[in-house]
Structure 1
Amino acid sequence: MSPLSSSLALTVFSLLSIQPFVPSHSPSTLVHALPSPLEGFVDSLRSIPTILREPWKRQSDSGNATSPSVNSTGKAVWILQDTYEGKTFFDDWNFYTGPDPTNGLVHFLDQNDALAQGLAYVQDDGKVIMKGDNTTVLPVGTNRSSVRIQSNKTYTGGLFILDLNRAPWGCGVWPAFWTFGAGVTWPQWGEIDILEGVHDNVHNQVTWHTDAGCNLVTSPTGQNNFTGTPVGQTDCDGNINSNAGCGITDWSRVSYGETFDAQGGGMYAMKWDETGIAVWYFYRVSLPQDILDGTPDPTTWVTPSALLSPEGCDPFVYFNNHQIVFDITFCGDWAGNTYATTPGCTGTCPDHLTDPTNFVNASWSINSLKVYRKQDLSGVVSSGASRTILTLRESGLWAVLSAMALWITLP
């Protein structure tokens, strides 16, 4: 190994030995504050590119750094945790086959039957399809076959982004994309209905169901906290008011139903963190670039359609350990009880159920569902807020330096 390689190797190994620290010197003298093994290699350090000489510093667009102070901005990033899409989509879900808890006139199929009957499949282009039976003529009183899937994994908090081409709709149809607390008696640990509606509705409804003590604050501290309209009561207790919970309808007339499908669907995002539980709907033509880039940043998005503020409901006391659910049911507590008063829905819901042509629009078409976890960032920021100082380990260069050290020491 040449003297230069030896010098550089020792430099890199010395950098790797540095424990995270907050520099107490100005950036111009940081190199002199490094541990003694580096003192003899200042010249070598100067020959290394700046990004390696000062890996703990991220240059901002303006100004010179001054004495650093602890970062108290609460900055965080959302890191991709799980992706559900394409040919492997159904690998990570179970097909629920029990009775519908909402009293729908539905027969949920297991995975083998759903695949065999064409009610669950993945197209050649990767789109995931789930639908209700739209080919079988039924005698009155017979439940129609459909699909309900639940994620194998559970989540407490996160950012859930669903990219949809279409969602089910039609008289007597009641679809939902939602989450609920697993392994406990409902509504303990809560339920979050992200996308839900009935019949030919054109407004999505976001609803929360909880144990007693959680309330929807319709005018939370601050301005314009959500754009939707509260519906019904503000008490989210799922044990009262016919299990209705508390809800907010989206202001947009293309957030659900035929109009949603006609404009190519869009994306739904649900953020669950210490700031509450918020839901956004994004038109297909106006998707945030950060989502498309795989680096979502909800702090830059428009005001959410719905928000359950921590002022009225602690998001980690009333919500915990959630499975994700897609389902399509028919009639039942909501669609059945409102069928007779819905314009355009003729006869009775059980009679309507017999004709398969009434359910040609009862289908999901999913591009992807991505779940992100929140990662808080820690570091220090200059008092002038013009430069961020990060520890070596936090800078993302730890692996780079390790690889350099190994490469340099090779024969």
Structure 2
Amino acid sequence: MLHLRTFPPCLLIFLISHLQTALASTDLQVRSNLNTGPNGSTFLWLPQDEYSGSSFFDRWDFFTDDDPTHGIVKLRISYTTKEDAFATGLAFVRGDGTVIMQGDNTTQLNQGVPRRSVRISSKAQYNGGLFILDLDKAPWGCGIWPAFWTLGAGNWPYTGEVDIIEGVHDNEHNQVAFHTAPGCLLNPNATFTGTVVTRDGQNSTQCNGLINDNSGCAIVEWSRASYGPFFDSQGGGVFAMKWDDEGIAVWSFYRQAIPTDINQGSPDPSKWGPPVAALDPAGCDINQYFANHSIIFDITFCGDWAGNSYASTTCPGTCEQRLMDPNNFVVSLLFCMPLDYKLILTECDMDYQQPESVQEAVIDWDGYRQGLPEV
């Protein structure tokens, strides 16, 4: 279920203009501050796009082609149409403005019969910005593979993909991933709090989506409140992605830790501490590898990740058997955004503001984390 608040914004996108290149050389470098320009100036973020309430679905396309991840979902072999989604309660807007998206959790199926679900993508495309999403709940559970992500137009992965929220089964940690054409490298020495996914005992820093089972380069979050049952039980939280010439960075905040500036509708990433994941220009030319992205929500079943990993979990039976009984998905098969938020996509200019004689606060992020509940 997808459930959106009215204010402050739960998904913001800010686009950037007049942004200079942060790194003048191709040598490997590490930026200590992802929120300032090369001259030390700070950024100004201005909202522009909003998706909310009764008109929310007017600006999204419902994907109905074959599932590219080979999941077991259906209408015309794959995801449902907009008309069918509304007719069957897989997508709707409540009277209070809450937007709901979910997979089918009522139909008893014979083995091998696909289960219906929803995948939507924004009609608008973006080439950078600040994206902020607030969720009360997100799908999780055996056989389920939900995602909130952005995808470039054209042939995959040559215009890039960023997975902001993604996981399978009953994972407790969100996984952020980048998929690109050959040549883009994740810099493991960049500033972020997550852990780089390893492959054969080595950090998987090749973001090339054409190798390593199309896995790209991925970073797992440190917080148990970033995905799965604990994310839902403690009230969800906020995810944010900042994409500009300085790189692509992702943050997540569980409900009690959402920054005040987000709740007030004036997000300021410079105050959020280090991101959970970051792809910086030291190893990847962002403008070369990421372009013309739509925003996507989807809930799939089994598929390349959830299906192939099912046997290695404690989930019962097989993935296909799991899908037959709708009672397996009554609680866990929904995106849900809070009632007093709107889903907002904000396209804006981000301009340099030359600092004057203002002292900027420095966040002791380790101390901040130590003061939070253990999650």
Match of 2:217 among 225, 246, 251: 246
Residues 352-377 of structure 1, C-alpha deviations (whole Å, 9 max, x = no match): 11111111211111244333434214
Misfit runs of 4+, over 2 Å: 71-75, 366-374, 377-381
Contact 1:160 1:369 in 2 (8 A): no
TM-aligned CA deviation for residue 292 of structure 1? 1.3
- Matched residues in 2 for 1:73 and 1:218: separation? 24
Contact 2:40 2:355 in 1 (8 A): no
What percentage of residue pairs aligned between the two structures are identical? 56
TM-aligned CA deviation for residue 74 of structure 1? 2.5
Match of 1:266 among 234, 237, 260: 237
CA RMSD of superposed structures (Å): 1.6
TM-score normalised to structure 1 length: 0.73
Residues 54-79 of structure 1, C-alpha deviations (whole Å, 9 max, x = no match): xxxxxxxxxxxxxxxxx954222111
TM-aligned CA deviation for residue 340 of structure 1? 1.0
What SS is found at the alignment partner of 2:289?
A: coil
Closer/same/farther in 2, CA of residues 379 and 252 from structure 1, 3 Å limit: closer
- Matched residues in 1 for 2:48 and 2:272: separation? 21
Q: Does 1:362 align with 2:337?
A: no
- Matched residues in 2 for 1:160 and 1:149: separation? 17
Contact 1:76 1:374 in 2 (8 A): no
- Matched residues in 2 for 1:299 and 1:378: separation? 13
What SS is found at the alignment partner of 1:149?
A: strand
Q: Does 1:375 align with 2:350?
A: yes
- Matched residues in 1 for 2:354 and 2:183: separation? 37
TM-aligned CA deviation for residue 116 of structure 1? 0.4
The answer for the alignment partner of 2:176 in structure 1 is: 206
Structure 2 residue ranges without an equivalent (≥5): 1-37, 199-203, 360-375
The answer for the alignment partner of 1:286 in structure 2 is: 257
| One-letter amino acid of the counterpart of residue 364, structure 1 | F
Q: Does 1:113 align with 2:84?
A: yes
Residues 327-347 of structure 1, C-alpha deviations (whole Å, 9 max, x = no match): 00000100001111112x111
TM-aligned CA deviation for residue 288 of structure 1? 0.8
| One-letter amino acid of the counterpart of residue 86, structure 1 | G
| One-letter amino acid of the counterpart of residue 355, structure 1 | D
Match of 2:187 among 217, 222, 234: 217
TM-aligned CA deviation for residue 380 of structure 1? 8.4
Q: What aligned pairs does 1:329-368 form with structure 2 within 5 A after superposition?
A: 329-343=300-314, 345-360=315-330, 361-367=332-338, 368=342
The answer for the alignment partner of 1:188 in structure 2 is: 158
| One-letter amino acid of the counterpart of residue 375, structure 1 | M
Residues 358-406 of structure 1, C-alpha deviations (whole Å, 9 max, x = no match): 112111112443334342145685xxx379xxxxxxxxxxxxxxxxxxx
TM-aligned CA deviation for residue 124 of structure 1? 2.4
TM-score normalised to structure 2 length: 0.79
Match of 1:236 among 187, 204, 207: 207
- Matched residues in 2 for 1:378 and 1:85: separation? 30
Tell me which moved more, 370-379 or 276-285.
Answer: 370-379
Closer/same/farther in 2, CA of residues 352 and 299 from structure 1, 3 Å limit: same
Contact 2:80 2:116 in 1 (8 A): yes
What SS is found at the alignment partner of 2:50?
A: strand
- Matched residues in 2 for 1:378 and 1:331: separation? 48
Q: Does 1:298 align with 2:264?
A: no
The answer for the alignment partner of 1:78 in structure 2 is: 45
TM-aligned CA deviation for residue 82 of structure 1? 1.2
Higher RCO, 1 or 2 (CA under 8 Å, sep at least 6)? Answer: 2
The answer for the alignment partner of 1:104 in structure 2 is: 71
What SS is found at the alignment partner of 2:178?
A: strand
Q: What aligned pairs does 1:10-89 form with structure 2 within 5 A after superposition?
A: 72-89=39-56
Structure 1 residue ranges without an equivalent (≥5): 1-70, 388-411
Match of 1:276 among 247, 261, 266: 247
Contact 2:42 2:354 in 1 (8 A): no
What SS is found at the alignment partner of 2:56?
A: helix
Contact 1:270 1:277 in 2 (8 A): yes
What SS is found at the alignment partner of 2:97?
A: coil
| Aligned residue pair count | 308
The answer for the alignment partner of 2:101 in structure 1 is: 130
What SS is found at the alignment partner of 1:159?
A: strand
- Matched residues in 2 for 1:124 and 1:198: separation? 32
Q: Does 1:308 align with 2:293?
A: no
Contact 2:187 2:205 in 1 (8 A): yes
The answer for the alignment partner of 1:322 in structure 2 is: 293
Contact 1:140 1:354 in 2 (8 A): yes
